[in-house]
A and B are shown apart, each in its own frame.
Chain A
Amino acid sequence: MMNDDERARRPGALTTARDLLADCRALGDAQTSAPIAESALIRVGLADAYLTIETPLGLVYVAWNARGLSVVTRAESAAAFEAKAYRLLGRRVYHNATPPQRLVDALSAWLAGDEHAPLTFDLRGQTPFMRAALLKAREIPYGEVRPYSWIAREIGRPGAVRAVGTAMARNPAPLFIPCHRVVRADGHLGAYGLGGPASKRAILSAEGLDVDQLEALAESGVRYVVSESGDSYCYPTCQHAYSIPPQRRITFASEAEAQRAGYRPCNVCRPPEAQLAS
């Protein structure tokens, strides 16, 4: 009995070798629409994925990698975003139509005011100062604002107010690092990267802040407020101060003035003196 190998090597009656080999060659052209290279590049950190999400400022593009969010911005089109992200990151971003539910949930929860939404950020390439300033902004509660000088004091660089402004302007993940909650000391909203002052007003309003009232107070020189029955002075948007009705509100133009009147800085919103005291 011959085995298959022996039988196969007998000449004659066999498929022509040329046809067989041409067919073999054709088998090497199989393709898939699965994004193999993209997935691998994302896994090794050479590319980021991105999604789009509806926000109070409209459609926003969000890129992320294993470390966290890397770029958040608005864009004219997917192509415009991809180009911009490439410029900022030096690596490509690929659209992910079915992003992890955890991430989508965390983004939505954060936008709805959940301060504990589990979000992380890829802040490689930022200086330690930038990182500290950006992460400090994350501590400003939903619907409240703090001056640039507050951030500077809180991160131990009280003289670096302008640098804080620069850090906020270069925020890679606006909305989720809420630089919109950082305003000028005189109460004016100040600049905003994600669409200018009008956008800053829109997003703060969406968080429930009465921007007109805030500006009116600032316009009249008010920097800190105290309740008639209270013993500490607060930023006007501090949760302890925000609900004080105007007729029961005592206002001050400076910390010195408030302290002369016998008040101490609030422990919650921590006006600058609070840090010096502690």
Chain B
Amino acid sequence: MSALRPKRDTRAALHPVCLAPRQEEKMSSDEALAAALANDLDSAFEALALAREHRLYAFALRMTGRPRDAEELAEETLVQAWRALVGYPPERRRTLRLRPWLFQIVANLARNRARSARRNETLSLDAEAPRGDDDQSAAHVAERIADDDPLGNPEAALAREQRLADLAALLLTLPAAQREVVILRHVEGMGYAAIAEVMGEPIGTVKSHASRGVARLRLALERERVAAAQEAYS
């Protein structure tokens, strides 16, 4: 289905980073969408899918590192969400906490996929190795930087792009549980209670995954920096 290419101005959907609350959350909060799903499932689900497709994609991309996989996961998540919602009575739809619920579906699908990939794994089959980013999202990163600072210099933009790509690649080296928590907490900005819900783990465990994960990221980044510096001076 990824062959379908509707004309859509993706640029219009871009927005400066680190603005909270994020654009789509402001326009269609979990509560508003859940209430709409209880009243008119069909049209509310359309609104939900269009409002959240990019967040689901971004989450899946950070979990898997593979853009194609991430597109499939995000699409499959929406399809599974629909199938579940159709079976729920309106009252259950109204009280759904959509964001954790959707991320939980993505996470489950990603885990299953990783499991079956491991089962089929051979050394030569590593054709599409995890990447931090692809050309497409790198281009988006560049575009975003331009949005952030129209007068900014291209070198700084490139450096930031590289830094983000490195960080995305580093995330993929974290143990699965740490990666999932760090992404939910620091990429998606979710609270620990919601993350615990997604993971099906106690809050304490989740917090510990988060701090270990972040610490590892910082250590790894620091090592890279030191290595780069040594190379520069040697």
Contact = CB atoms under 8 A, between A and B. Distances in A.
A36 B82 CA distance: 14
B144 interface: yes
Contacts of B7: 78, 95
A91 B215 CA distance: 48
B33 interface: no
B62 A27 contact: yes
B14 A91 contact: no
Contact of A96 (B4, B45, B82, B186): B4
B215 A9 contact: yes
B115 interface: no
A68 to B, nearest CB: 18
A34 B6 CA distance: 9
Given A34-B71, A46-B45, A23 B5 contact: no
B80 to A, nearest CB: 9
A32 B5 contact: no
A39 B75 contact: yes
Interface stretch (B88-96, B122-130, B163-171, B193-201): B163-171
A32 B4 contact: no
Nearest to A29: B17
Given A23-B167, A98-B3, A44 B82 contact: yes
Contacts of A32: 54, 57, 61, 67, 70-71, 136-137
Contact of B222 (A14, A21, A44): A14
Contacts of B164: 23, 26-27
Interface in A70-102: 78, 91-92, 94-98
A247 interface: no
A17 B221 CA distance: 11
Contacts of A258: none
Contacts of B182: 24
15 contacts: A13-B222, A22-B17, A25-B18, A27-B171, A27-B187, A29-B14, A29-B17, A31-B13, A34-B2, A35-B6, A37-B53, A43-B1, A44-B78, A91-B46, A95-B6
Q: Give the top 9 A-B pairs by smallest Cβ distance, nearest first.
A: A8-B215, A40-B78, A39-B1, A37-B49, A24-B186, A8-B219, A37-B53, A36-B53, A30-B58
Interface of B: 1-8, 10, 13-15, 17-18, 42, 45-46, 49-50, 52-59, 61-62, 67, 70-71, 74-76, 78-79, 82-83, 133, 136-137, 140-141, 144, 163-164, 167-168, 171, 182, 186-189, 211-212, 214-219, 221-222, 225
Interface of A: 4-5, 7-9, 13-15, 17, 20-44, 46-47, 49, 78, 91-92, 94-98
